[in-house]
Structure 1
Amino acid sequence: MTFSSPAGSSRLTRRGVLAAFAATAVTAAPAQAGLFGFLRGGGDVRRIRMYSGRTGESIDMIYWVDGKYVKPALEEISHFMRDWRDNATRPIDTRTIDIMAASHALMDVDEPYLLLSGYRTPHTNAMLRSRSGGAARNSLHMKGQAADLRLKSRSVKQMAAAAQACSAGGVGKYYRSNFVHMDCGPTRSWTG
């Protein structure tokens, strides 16, 4: 588990120790067979890797082990995906985290996601709507159920195809801004 601040310092807490223990399961876990089963509970571990250009933070977290979510890991993920403008946190829906992790695994990349937007306060969402009109009035970002993500090594089309293969939520393709929106709402897709 890695959660580092912009200065590169690591926090060693009870959560960190638990997550580090969970991370050791990665080396012993068999390769995932059938990634669709991964989304529905197959496999021994689930992992998410992201960094934020806005905060300078990065996260590499095992958040699910042997059929159970690791609560401290979910708390760390929620903190990482906070609204950086208002420094506000809301629990991120585990279904969204699962979609992100399964999509990442389907793309078979080592590169972490660049998180552009996770949780958004109503204030931040309203500000984004007023500036560009691209944010939905009732955005799932405000419920902790959506993420806007980018990978340097994969195109918007490739990322969207991986997310759509999960058949488990909304997928928005934003070619001009070079990111993909993933959420755990109704299964649908669009181009923004």
Structure 2
Amino acid sequence: MNETSTMISRRGLLGAFAATAVIATPTYSHAFSFLRGAGDIRRLKMYSGRTGENLDTIYWVDGDYIKEALAEINHFMRDWRTGTSIDIDPRTVDIMAASHRLMDASEPYMMLSGYRSPKTNAMLRSKSRGVAKHSLHMVGQAADLRLKSRSIGQMAKAAKACASGGVGSYSRSNFVHMDCGPVRSWGG
């Protein structure tokens, strides 16, 4: 495939995804319909610099979430400071995976923050005005991510294309926040 064909293909995918995301916003049930030709699977690849752990899992196949894979994601995204974990909202996982796929990235995300216990959130909030008192991290609905091969702008653009949650760009700290809360964006 030549470069022009690749660009047209990506534009076509982005257009198809944007149309699907608008329809899927309330339920997220069709967020990956543009991937049907790719085997109808959802995959998430991440690593944690804090724990040294890696995650590479297929968590959804042909319309069904894989319970064991979601449990693995819950453990991986735990609060590394306290060791506690909760169920991560699959909608957040879907947004992360869809954004990764839209960027056509092969490297795994570096996860900076997934679930945060109320204790951890309060501690971080005492050190930074950028930490929300009622953060979606505390209910398993948010992740802070980084990719070496993509800029903050590229990551935020892909996440915003999902039109399925919040996207925060933190250029100074070099990460993007993705959540499955109300559709909104901030930062730069």
TM (norm. structure 2) is 0.82
Q: How many residues align?
A: 161
CA distance in 2, matches of 1:106, 1:132: 31
Question: For residues 40 and 132 of structure 1, what CA distance do their matches in structure 2 show?
Answer: 34
- Unaligned ranges ≥5, structure 1: 1-32
Paired residue secondary structure (1:168): coil
Report the secondary structure of 1:98's partner residue.
Answer: helix
Does 2:124 correspond to 1:163? no
Superposed CA deviations along residues 139-183 of structure 1, whole A, max 9, x for unmatched, are 000000000000000010000000000000000000000000000
1:138 correspondence with 2:149:
no
Within the alignment, does 1:180 sit opposite 2:176 as a pair?
A: yes
Q: Cα deviation per residue 1:83-127 (whole Å; 9 max; x = unaligned)?
A: 000000000000000000000000001010000000000000000
Contact 1:173 1:190 in 2 (8 A): yes
What residue ranges of structure 2 are gaps of 5+ in the alignment?
A: 1-12, 22-29
Identity of aligned residues (%): 67
Higher relative contact order (CA 8 A, sep 6+): 2
Q: Please report the RMSD computed on the Cα atoms of aligned residues, expressed in angstroms.
A: 1.6
From 24, 28, 31, give the equivalent of 1:40: 31
Q: Does the CA contact (< 8 Å) of 1:35 and 1:102 recur in 2? A: no
AA aligned opposite 1:60: D
> Structure 1 CA distance, aligned partners of 2:58 and 2:77?
15
The one-letter code sitting in structure 2 at the alignment partner of 1:122 is P
Secondary structure of the structure 2 residue equivalent to 1:157: helix
Amino acid at match of 2:129: G
- Which residue number in structure 1 is paired with residue 61 of structure 2? 65
Could you say what secondary structure the match of 2:86 adopts? coil
Tell me the TM-score normalised to structure 1 length: 0.80
Write the distance in 2 (CA, Å) between the matches of 1:83 and 1:134: 18
Q: Cα offset for 1:41?
A: 4.4
**Does structure 1 conserve the Cα–Cα contact (< 8 Å) formed by 2:79 and 2:114?**
yes
Residue identity matched to 1:182: M
Q: Is the 8 A contact 2:92 2:142 kept in 1?
A: yes
